Amino acid sequence: MQPRNMSMSGVVDLAAVKAAQEAKAKAEQTRAETARQGGAGAVSPADLVIDVDEAGFEREVLQRSAEVPVVIDFWAEWCQPCKQLSPVLERLAVEYNGRFLLAKIDVDANQMLMQQFGVQGIPAVFAVVAGQALPLFQGAAAETQIRQTLDQLVQVAEERFGLTGLNVDPDAESGAGPEAVAADPVGPYDALLEAAVQALDAGDFGGAVRAYQSVLAEDPGNSEAELGLAQAELLQRVGGMDPQQVRKDAAERPADAQAQIAAADLDLVGGHVEDAFGRLIDTVRRTAGEDRDAVRLRLLELFEVVGPEDPRVSAARRALARALF
């Protein structure tokens, strides 16, 4: 799924936490102090993923961003897409071997930080480099695109700020405990689920659909497979579209169910969740019979992509009920 806000040029205002210039100055001071001490000591792979709250934000994120890019994962327990994205980010943090630090922030427990970063929905991913915050993407994303974003982040950190990352020693004692990095899942369907993820990364959306369907055939209530299937089917549909033509058709034919369904798929892939939902709810109001049913069913499928616990889904369900009845 195409992440939003992939540009590395935007800067988020951190004034509510610390003035941007003060944060940058502290980052420079920390970097200079680290250099005088002969560089940062070795850390363990488990220390590359940390939980951060409001009290520790300045120390764990702003100050450490003078040594290494800090990627922030805004998440919540009720967020289904977060449960797909967070393990990928945790695994990549270890794989990148110290080139970035992953800070996980639970938005339910840290509302102030969520507001200060202007987070409109989760999952949302930012980075802080030398005291400056950069928006990376919002919503679910394919691992290949996440890697591209991280590669760009690492390059910016090295070229503009001289941050070469942390020294990682696999034998170093962890300061955060083994729970800091999620363990690899163990279950009867792990091989199929991993095959589905690899198919998605390779752009083989049909293969991913089949793998997820195989899991659901044996375990109909598997939430990971349900979410993965919804995402894979969405990507499969969008893969063959001409976005410009789809947008043109939707603008010219507001009551055409299929034109609006296609445009809503593009909206969601682009991270415009509320636009996708609103488009289809408006189309439900304009249509009847089989067309209305088709639009309603597609909307329910998109609810699955976003996750049933997402507040935007709850709001859209209420709006859909009003449109139908």
Per-residue pLDDT reduced to its tens digit, 195-233:
888 888 788 888 889 988 998 888 887 878 888 888 889
Per-residue confidence band for 282, with pLDDT thresholds at 50, 70 and 90: very high
In DSSP terms, which residues pair with 105 in a beta bridge?
74
Of 8-22, 203-217, 275-289, 307-321, the one with minimum mean pLDDT is: 8-22
pLDDT band at 263 (very low <50, low <70, confident <90, very high): very high
What is the reported pLDDT for 184? 44
How would residue 37 be classed by pLDDT, with cut points 50, 70 and 90?
low
Position 174 confidence tier, pLDDT thresholds 50, 70, 90? low
Indicate the average pLDDT of the chain. 80
Share of the chain above pLDDT 90, in %: 33
The tens digit of pLDDT for each residue in 10-23 reads 333 343 333 334 44
User: Which one-letter amino acid corresponds to residue 88?
Assistant: V
AA identity, residue 87:
P
The pLDDT assigned to 194 comes to: 84
Q: Which range among 71-75, 111-115, 139-143, 291-295 shows the weakest confidence by mean pLDDT?
A: 139-143
**First vs last C-alpha separation in the chain:** 33
Q: Is 80 exceeded by the pLDDT of residue 111?
A: yes
Predicted local distance difference test score (pLDDT) of residue 150 = 92
- Among 3, 133, 6, 105, which residue's Cα sits nearest to residue 49? 105
**Radius of gyration, alpha carbons of the chain:** 21
CA 115 from centroid of its chain's CA atoms: 17
Helix runs in 117-272, H state only: 143-161, 190-201, 205-218, 223-239, 243-252, 257-269
d(CA 310, CA 147): 25
Residue 199 corresponds to which tokens in the numbers above? Answer: 């198919």
| Interacting residues of 51 by C-beta distance below 8 A, sequence separation 6+ | 103, 104, 105, 106, 180
Instruction: Give the pLDDT score at 46.
Output: 81
**Residues classed as catalytic:** 79, 82
Angle between helices 80-95 and 143-161 (to 10 degrees): 50
Cα distances (angstroms) measured from residue 206 to each of 209, 220, 235, 310? 5, 19, 9, 27
pLDDT band for position 290 (cuts 50, 70, 90): very high
Q: Kindly indicate the confidence band of residue 188, based on its pLDDT and cuts at 50, 70 and 90.
A: low
Is beta strand 101-106 parallel, antiparallel or unpaired with respect to 70-75?
parallel
